[in-house]
Amino acid sequence: MKQQIPNNAIRQVLLLSFILLLGVVLFGELRSFIPAFLGSYTLYAIMRKYMFLLESKYKMRSSLAAALLMFLSFIVILLPIFLLVNMLTSKVAFAIKHMNEVLLAIKDFIRQYEVQYRIEILTAENINKLTNWGAQTLPQILGATLSTVVALVVMYFILFFMLTQGRWMESKFYEWAPLKDENLLLLRKDLNKMVLSNAIGIPLIAFLQGVVALIGYLIIGVPQPIFWFAITAFTALLPVVGAALAYIPLSLLLFADGDNVRGFIVLGFGLGVIGSVDNIFRFWLAKKLGDVHPLITVFGVIIGVNMFGFIGIIFGPILISLFLIMIRIYANEFGMQRNSTTQR
């Protein structure tokens, strides 16, 4: 007699298949809003205890407390970006206004190196490639700017409901998640630690690098040190090359002006001091916020930028950290333990 599959197992498989299919459809349609959701969860993890404090201790209405925290986060996050964009806009406006002088200065600068090293840079082919690259890149920049604005609006929209309904949301998560209570606590603890380490640690290290660079720029006597501080802090967010994208062009500009002494000092200061600040402060923050391996940060930033654009600098390492946490939870959930004794 053939053994039949229990009806309950069939219903369970069908229901799980429908849930997965619907999840794939929803993910495909809403994938452009993933950065907004990740950003809202990141801010929620940072603001959670302050939200509960305002509600319980100061008896503030949830909507008012959420609006206050969102406003403060908006100032902290977007004000530096606005100042940087404003500084860059002024530089671009000046360059456009004095386009002929800028082009002549660039040509003279390039021709000096062409004569010195006997190479050809300003060829018709290279100029044509540069023009085509600019024509392709400008629409991408404008599109990325628009998508970033939309993502920020959606992020704060989601964040408002997360903050005002945080306790209900967490209780439902604990109720519905098919995991043991100990693994749910592990997921929450480790994920929050990773969020704080990446969302606070990466921008803070970049800012500290910018501060150290600013001190050096002031001592060396670099022109417009505040502008180069902003550029250094911004480029320090990028993986691998980081702040070198700021102090190397700065040293080249000093060389072009004939100020070779300060050019070499800036280059040596950048390579010897600014570059090492990352390792020093990262070691200190690892003890304060959580130990995140440098490989997770580097590869997370690379993956995040490819997936989400510039905002992926924060979310890429969080995704890799979440992946590793889920592997650990899977091992705990299903009792996968490695034998501590070695076989001989």
Claim to verify: residue 159 and residue 234 sit in the same structural domain? no
In a domain, 339, yes or no: no
Q: What is the pLDDT of residues 117-173, one digit of tens each?
A: 677 666 656 666 666 666 666 565 555 566 777 878 888 999 999 999 988 888 888
In a domain, 143, yes or no: yes
Distance CA 308, CA 328 (A): 26
Question: 79: domain range?
Answer: 31-176
Claim to verify: residue 153 and residue 212 sit in the same structural domain? no
Q: Which of 142, 159, 176 is the last residue of a domain?
A: 176
| pLDDT for the residue numbered 142 | 55
Alpha carbon dihedral 244, 247, 248, 252, in 10-degree steps, equals 170
Claim to verify: residue 104 and residue 229 sit in the same structural domain? no
CA 215 from chain center: how many Å? 25
Distance CA 269, CA 262 (A): 10
Q: Which of 176, 206, 224 is the last residue of a domain?
A: 176
CA 180 from chain center: how many Å? 32
In a domain, 24, yes or no: no
* Contact present, 43 and 159 (Cβ < 8 Å): yes
Domain total of the chain: 2
Claim to verify: residue 187 and residue 328 sit in the same structural domain? yes
In a domain, 80, yes or no: yes
Claim to verify: residue 184 and residue 324 sit in the same structural domain? yes
In a domain, 129, yes or no: yes
Residue from 48, 29, 50, 28 nearest 40 by CA: 48
Residue from 181, 176, 154, 186 nearest 43 by CA: 154
Distance CA 121, CA 124 (A): 9
* Contact present, 306 and 312 (Cβ < 8 Å): yes
147 SS3 class: helix
Helical segments of 57-98, H only: 62-97
* Contact present, 315 and 35 (Cβ < 8 Å): yes
| pLDDT for the residue numbered 99 | 63
pTM equals 0.72
Claim to verify: residue 172 and residue 182 sit in the same structural domain? no
| pLDDT for the residue numbered 339 | 47
Claim to verify: residue 150 and residue 183 sit in the same structural domain? no
Claim to verify: residue 136 and residue 101 sit in the same structural domain? yes
Cα→Cα distances 301→25, 45, 47, 174, 311, Å: 27, 20, 24, 30, 9
Of all residues in the chain, the percent with pLDDT exceeding 90 is 10
Claim to verify: residue 162 and residue 182 sit in the same structural domain? no
Claim to verify: residue 88 and residue 135 sit in the same structural domain? yes
Q: Which of 142, 161, 176 is the last residue of a domain?
A: 176
Angle separating helix axes 312-333 and 201-220, nearest 10 degrees: 140
In a domain, 340, yes or no: no
DSSP string, 222-242: -SSHHHHHHHHHHHTTSSTTT
Claim to verify: residue 169 and residue 189 sit in the same structural domain? no
Q: What is the pLDDT of residues 63-115, one digit of tens each?
A: 999 999 999 988 887 777 777 777 777 766 666 666 666 667 667 767 776 67
Claim to verify: residue 133 and residue 41 sit in the same structural domain? yes
In a domain, 232, yes or no: yes
Question: What are the backbone angles phi and psi of residue 125, rounded to the nearest 5°?
Answer: -65, -45
Q: Which two tokens stand for residue 131?
A: 């023009």
In a domain, 16, yes or no: no
Question: What is the DSSP-derived secondary structure letter of residue 273?
Answer: I
Q: Please, which residues have CB within 8 angstroms of residue 156's CB and are 6 or more apart in sequence?
A: 40, 70, 74
Q: What is the pLDDT of residues 281-340, one digit of tens each?
A: 766 665 566 666 767 777 887 888 777 766 677 778 878 888 888 888 888 877 655 444
| pLDDT for the residue numbered 343 | 46
